[in-house]
Amino acid sequence: MAEQEQLRMLNGQEDEVEIDLKEIFFLILNNWKSVLLAVLIGAVIFTGYRVFLMNPSYQADTKIYITNTDSMISFSDLQLSSALTEDYGNIIKSRTVLNRVIEQLDLKLDYKQLGKLVSVENPDSTHIIHTLVTCDDLELGRNIANALMYVSIEQIQQIVGSSEPTVIDYSEAEAVQDVTPGLIRYPAMGGMLGGLLVCAVLIVRMLMNTTMKTEEDITKYLGIPMLVAVPYFKER
């Protein structure tokens, strides 16, 4: 019975995976050269991708103001304009508007692809619709932003039937922003991923290695003291 109980205890210990943080720390510390090499390789690879393979990204934007243009604006008019602002944003990204922009500019895109380049924002507590177009061609982005603004204004008038939205900002070449991710970010990301990958491999190998190498391992994992040790003698 005692032997069966001991076997059950041993099987239960085999099923459980104990993670010793101190052991992991010294494992990584002892393999710092491999980790450092992985960090450098990851940084070089990501830097090369950023410099040689990634296209620049430019962001063009337009702004329109949604409200009643009459000289007398009632409180109900302002409430209505505020409630419709989100609807106007959905109209701007509608399939009809996007397809008309594609037709006007003769773009080699479908409406789904164009929609991924367009984002619409509405700052809190305002009646302003801020449309942004992000692509790898400065001039094309500016043209899309302006065409999208004109077409959406016409579409809003047809659907909502209210007064024409007021243009605040057209998209101009000098206002287009370069939003390409910075050069420093990619080496940092590559180095971090490379180091984490090597650390993960080392930890997995450690957890999968069930070989007992020292007296402490026998006591720790089997829970029994070692009575006899046979020394290893290497002939010269």
Q: Which two tokens stand for residue 198?
A: 């090597």
pLDDT tens-digit series, residues 184-204 = 889 999 999 999 999 999 999
H-run or E-run covering 141: helix 138-160
Question: Residue 23 falls within a domain, yes or no?
Answer: yes
State the total domains in the chain.
2
Matching residue, tokens 């070692």:
226
Instruction: Write out the residue range of the structural domain in which residue 106 sits.
Output: 58-178
Q: Choose from 31-45, 64-78, 216-230 the range with maximum mean pLDDT.
A: 31-45
Show contacts of 201-207: CB within 8 Å, 24+ apart: 202/27, 202/28, 202/31, 202/34, 203/24, 203/27, 206/23, 206/24, 206/27, 207/17, 207/19
Percent of the chain with pLDDT over 70: 75
If you average pLDDT over every residue of the chain, what do you get?
A: 82
Are the CB atoms for 63 and 169 separated by under 8 Å?
yes
**Do 68 and 145 belong together in one domain?**
yes
pLDDT of residue 22: 85
Are the CB atoms for 66 and 81 separated by under 8 Å?
yes
**Do 98 and 152 belong together in one domain?**
yes
pLDDT of residue 148: 96
Which residues fall within 8 angstroms of residue 44, CB to CB, at 6 or more apart?
187, 190
pTM, two decimals, is: 0.65
Question: Residue 9 falls within a domain, yes or no?
Answer: no
Beta strands in 36-157 (DSSP E): 58-65, 118-121, 128-135
Show contacts of 45-52: CB within 8 Å, 24+ apart: 45/190, 45/194, 46/186, 46/187, 46/189, 46/190, 46/191, 46/193, 47/183, 47/186, 47/187, 47/190, 49/186, 50/181, 50/183, 50/186, 50/187, 51/183
d(CA 92, CA 150): 10
**Do 72 and 169 belong together in one domain?**
yes
pLDDT tens-digit series, residues 80-104 = 455 567 778 889 999 999 999 999 9
**Do 151 and 43 belong together in one domain?**
no
pLDDT at 67 over 90: no
**Do 166 and 64 belong together in one domain?**
yes
pLDDT of residue 74: 46
**Do 43 and 138 belong together in one domain?**
no
**Do 165 and 199 belong together in one domain?**
no
Matching residue, tokens 């900002």:
169
SS3 235: coil
Beta strands in 46-111 (DSSP E): 58-65
pLDDT of residue 118: 95
d(CA 66, CA 156): 10
**Do 65 and 174 belong together in one domain?**
yes
Are the CB atoms for 119 and 132 separated by under 8 Å?
yes
pLDDT at 2 over 50: no
Mean pLDDT for 164-176 is 90
H-run or E-run covering 144: helix 138-160
**Do 82 and 172 belong together in one domain?**
yes
Confidence of residue 78 (pLDDT cuts 50, 70, 90): very low
Q: Which residue has the higher pLDDT, 6 or 28?
A: 28
Mean pLDDT for 140-168 is 88
pLDDT of residue 107: 95
**Do 161 and 68 belong together in one domain?**
yes
Q: Which two tokens stand for residue 80?
A: 């209505």
Q: Which residue has the higher pLDDT, 231 or 1?
A: 231
pLDDT at 18 over 70: no
pLDDT at 43 over 90: yes
pLDDT of residue 71: 44
pLDDT at 151 over 60: yes
